[in-house]
Amino acid sequence: MLQQLISAEEIEARTREIAAEIRRDFGDEELVLIAVLKGSFIFVADLCRHLGGDVKVDFVQTSSYGAEKSSSGVVQIRKDLDTNIEGKNVVVVEDIIDTGLTLSHLLQVWQTRKPKAIKVATLLSKPAARTHPMNVDYIGFEIPKKFVVGYGLDHGDRYRNLPFVAELVDEASA
Ligand code: 5GP
């Protein structure tokens, strides 16, 4: 069962605000948006259209193995960047930051490539779930430790096409 948490209108308004915040920080300089697949494909599509100006978009895909396979957690990069980010203004675009494992690993890797600046934008953040603390520059919405779907986020590859964000509630516990 789905329980709507954030409406399409709220997402649209907040995405515009984040785009304005990013442009305030970078002026009209060229930006490279790096979207972390698959979940951020809708957020990055909307964000880049609100940003305007000189914007490039690239994609990465990771797979992470949590505590059940490794005590520290390992992030594997399945598809790396096509873009050389040396000297570039980079904004990493995430759908959701949960433990922070994925992003902290990616940031470590990309810092070695000497970008001019690297900032992080996420539509959703679950601060109570964070085990890998990091600085997040642009946050759409902070949400509790619930499993959410919609607006790019899936469960078993379903629900990505919902225009809103909803909590996926177990029928039995509802
Ligand atoms: P982290 O490395 O921060 O723990 O996890 C980030 C990734 O876990 C996200 O990019 C997303 O793929 C997945 N994830 C974390 N929380 C949720 C959630 O509530 N719903 C969905 N659909 N995916 C989530």
Q: Which residue's CA is minimally distant from atom 8 of ligand 1?
A: 98
| Tens digit of each residue's pLDDT (9 = 90 or more) over 129-138 | 999 999 999 9
- Identify the pLDDT of residue 68: 39
The fold adopted by the segment(s) 8-145 is Rossmann fold (3.40.50)
Computed on alpha carbons and rounded to an integer, the radius of gyration of the chain in Å comes to 16
Ligand 1 atom 23: residue of nearest CA: 153
Domain ranges of the chain: 8-145
Distance 96 CA to ligand 1 centre (A): 6
Cα 114 to averaged position of ligand 1 atoms, centre (Å):
27
- State how beta strands 55-65 and 31-37 pair: parallel
Nearest to 118 by CA among 146, 100, 93, 81: 93
Atom of ligand 1 nearest to the CA of 147: 19
User: What is the distance between the alpha carbons of residues 111 and 146, in angstroms, rounded to a whole number?
Assistant: 31
* 52-105 pLDDT per residue, tens: 899 999 999 998 654 433 335 678 899 999 999 999 999 999 999 999 999 999
> Which pair of structure tokens corresponds to residue 167?
């909590």
Tell me how far the alpha carbon of residue 149 lies from the centroid of ligand 1, in angstroms: 10
In the chain the first and final C-alpha atoms are separated, in Å, by 8
Which residues are tagged catalytic?
98
> Is the distance from CB of 81 to CB of 60 less than 8 angstroms?
yes
* % of the chain exceeding 90 in pLDDT: 89
Q: What is the pTM of this model?
A: 0.94
